[in-house]
Every structure is written in C-alpha cells, then in structure tokens.
Amino acid sequence: MNERRPDNMTRITNAELADAFIAEQITALKEQIGDKKVLLALSGGVDSSVVAAMLIKAVGDQLTCVHVNHGLLRKGEAEQVISVFRDQMKANLVYVDATDRFLDKLAGVTDPETKRKIIGGEFIEVFAEEARKLDGIEFLAQGTIWPDILESEKGIKAHHNAGGLPEDMKFELVEPVKILFKDEVRIVGERLGLPAGMVYRQPFPGPGLGVRCPGAITRERLAAVREADAILREEFAAHGLEGKVWQYFTVVPDFKSTGIRDGRRVFEWPVIIRAVNTRDAMTAEVENIPFDLMQKLVSRITSEVPGVNRVLYDFTPKPTATIEYE
Ligand code: XMP
C-alpha cells in the first residue's frame, strides 16, 4: 500500500480509474490483513463509509464496524448506516445508541470548546469499550484522506483520525483511501455501490447537532434543531438545491421570543437557517434562497416543529461569521 500519494498519480475522475484503484487496494488489503480481524469506527460520513465498503469487499466478515450514535446525529442518519451496511452490505455492524450517556455528560455545559472535548472524549471511551468486547482484533481501519496528511504535516490540524485510543490498545492501521482527495473518495464510493446521498452528502461536523444548539444542549432544543434540519433538507432537495448549495442547516439558539399561536400568546424559540457556498470553508458566501422557498420553510417549520414560533435567515458571510455557530 502506498504510504504517500505519488507525484505523478492521475486524478481519479471517472469510473475506470476508480475501478482500477479499487482492484489495486483490495489486493493490497488482502495481503496486509490476511485472515486477521479489523475494526472500524463507522460514522456514516463519506470517508469511513468508503473505507467500510472497501473492506467488506476485501475481507468480508473479518471486518467489524462500530457505529456510535452520540445522540447528535441528523434525522435518519443512524438508520441509514444500519440499512446500508447491515442490511444491504451484510457487514458485521455493532450499533451503540449512547445518546443518554452523551446528553447526560453535556447537560448544563455552555462553553463550546468544553462541549467539543466532552463529545470527542466520550466518543473514544464508548468506542474503546466496544473494542475491548471483541476478541482478536489486530487492525484498526481509518478514513484518513490525503488532505488530512498534508494538513497535519503543515501543523494546521492535528491528524484527527490517528491516536486518541487508550495506551494499551495497540492496533496496526489500515488506511485504504489515504492517498486520495475528497472528490476521488466520492467516485470510489459510488463505484463500491454506496448510495449517492451518502457519498455526495454535505459536510457535517463531528460534534454534530451539538454545535447547532448553542449553549447548554437540552433534549427539547435538540429535537427542534433535528426536525427543522430535516425539513430544510427535504425542501432544498424538492427545489433542486441538494448538491448545489455547499452546506445548509438550522440552528436553534438559546432564547425565546413572544409569538401568537391559535389566538394565544406563546413564548418559543426561533430557528435560524444557514445556507452557504465555499471552495475550502475558509471563506463562505451566503446562498440567495428564492423567496417562495423561504416562505415555504417558514410555514412548515413554524407549524411542524414543536416549540418554534419564528424563522430567521442568517445573511452573514464568513468572515465575519464562521459557518457553524460554535
Ligand atoms: P466554521 O464554523 O469553522 O466551519 O466556519 C468550517 C467547516 O468545518 C466544519 N466544522 C467542523 N467539522 N468538527 C468537524 O468535523 C468540528 O468541530 C467542526 N466545526 C466546524 C463546518 O461544518 C464547516 O463545514
């Protein structure tokens, strides 16, 4: 397996090149892993999903995938992971619903960085607990991609995949998409039979909806942000904006305002809609959402999402705003 992307490597832009890459990697994976067992933390994101699909092809049930639901996933996400990997691809999938554990630890925590640390730390703990229950695992597969390696070499970002597990858990790493750029990973994923909605999905932060519930996360506000996000995604898809707008989501801030419902005064949250376009996420421009779509969103969100009486649109580019709210 190549340790580095060769300087003269052709960019994978079509099915033929992707198929050749897949065939090459499968041979290399079989050679590396032999008859041993491999473990993978499967988030449902593009990179880990593609690694899972590749390993299922290469070593079948020698692979065990662990999907940790931290309770901060979007509507339908855990269900999609189970349906694609367990039902369709027949993977060994351990599904852990750790929602209560995460939400209990996060209760009352308002500081954004502390929230991130709790989510990251708890994730490793749950994953390590599951790994200890399994016998004879020698390999840990990871969805590291080429930009991760370049960024960690430049010191921009700690290599987020490597490490983090307790000292006594030593595995040999398996990183079959390590030399690929994101666009290449997507084509490879499509050729491995993953659904387009999984392979071409918009970026979603590791701490999930947790950073879209600014301040202390409550189950009620989390339910509101999840439901509003599902409506936004559904309407963007219905209006042909899926795949055209780089990232779009909702935020439910921690304040209420007065409104009227069924002739009575109500005191409820607003939902903020964010929709941005960018090349590299360092700067971003706001999408010009058609007014009729905006009206549809307001109508659906205020009638379908409990506890919400207003919808706001964030017109702020990055900078000065970041894309996420925390
Ligand atoms: P910001 O908010 O910094 O976001 O403008 C830029 C891009 O990064 C994503 N993002 C994250 N991704 N963990 C992640 O995996 C995080 O903690 C995180 N914070 C932001 C964000 O969704 C956007 O695409």
Taking Cα atoms as reference points, which of 194, 173, 130, 185 lies closest to residue 38? 173
- For 268, which DSSP code? E
Lookup result for tokens 């009638």: 303
172-174/247-251 β-pairing = unpaired
Q: Ligand 1 center to residue 44 CA distance, Å?
A: 17
Distance CA 31, CA 60 (A): 14
Angle at 276 between CA 103 and CA 42, to 5 degrees: 45
| Residues belonging to the chain | 326
Q: Taking residues 311-319, report their average pLDDT.
A: 98
Q: How much is the pTM?
A: 0.95
Cβ of 316 below 6 Å from ligand 1: no
Q: Which atom of ligand 1 is least distant from the CA of 326? A: 2
Cβ of 43 below 6 Å from ligand 1: no
Residue 219 has pLDDT above 60, yes or no: yes
Q: Taking residues 240-263, report their average pLDDT.
A: 97
Q: Which two tokens stand for residue 12?
A: 């994978």
Residue 212 has pLDDT above 60, yes or no: yes
Q: Ligand 1 center to residue 273 CA distance, Å?
A: 16
Cβ of 125 below 6 Å from ligand 1: no
Distance CA 319, CA 118 (A): 27
Q: Which two tokens stand for residue 200?
A: 């071409």
- Decide: residue 183, CB within 10 A, 0-12 exposed, 13-18 middle, 19+ buried: exposed
Contact criterion met (CB below 8 Å) for 42 and 184: no
Residue 199 has pLDDT above 90, yes or no: yes
Q: For residue range 141-179, what is the model confidence (pLDDT) as tens digits? A: 999 999 999 988 887 766 555 457 888 888 999 999 999
Q: Which two tokens stand for residue 77?
A: 């996400």
Distance CA 140, CA 142 (A): 7
State percent of the chain over pLDDT 70. 98
Q: Taking residues 204-228, report their average pLDDT.
A: 98
pLDDT score recorded for residue 159: 58
Contact criterion met (CB below 8 Å) for 93 and 65: yes
Residue 183 has pLDDT above 90, yes or no: yes
> What is the band of 139 on the pLDDT scale with cuts at 50, 70, 90?
very high
Distance CA 38, CA 84 (A): 19
Contact criterion met (CB below 8 Å) for 124 and 165: yes
Q: Which residue's C-alpha comes closest to atom 14 of ligand 1? A: 205
Distance CA 145, CA 151 (A): 10
Report residue 273 CA to chain centroid gap: 19
Contact criterion met (CB below 8 Å) for 170 and 73: no
Distance CA 228, CA 234 (A): 10
In three-state secondary structure terms, 81 is helix
Residue 237 has pLDDT above 60, yes or no: yes
Neighbours of 306 (CB within 10 A): 10
Report residue 62 CA to chain centroid gap: 25
Q: For residue range 86-138, what is the model confidence (pLDDT) as tens digits? A: 999 999 999 999 999 999 999 999 999 999 999 999 999 999 999 999 999 99
H-helix or E-strand spanning residue 198: helix 196-199
Taking Cα atoms as reference points, which of 213, 298, 284, 194 lies closest to residue 247? 284
Cβ of 283 below 6 Å from ligand 1: no
Q: For residue range 254-299, what is the model confidence (pLDDT) as tens digits? A: 999 999 999 999 999 999 999 999 998 999 999 999 999 999 999 9
Q: Ligand 1 center to residue 205 CA distance, Å?
A: 5
Q: Taking residues 220-248, report their average pLDDT.
A: 98
pLDDT score recorded for residue 153: 87
Q: Which two tokens stand for residue 231?
A: 């409506």
Cβ of 318 below 6 Å from ligand 1: yes
Cβ of 205 below 6 Å from ligand 1: yes
Q: Ligand 1 center to residue 324 CA distance, Å?
A: 6
Q: Which two tokens stand for residue 202?
A: 């918009």
Distance CA 312, CA 316 (A): 12
The region, left, alpha or beta by phi > 0 then psi within -120 to 50, assigned to residue 136 is: left
Q: Which atom of ligand 1 is least distant from the CA of 116? A: 17
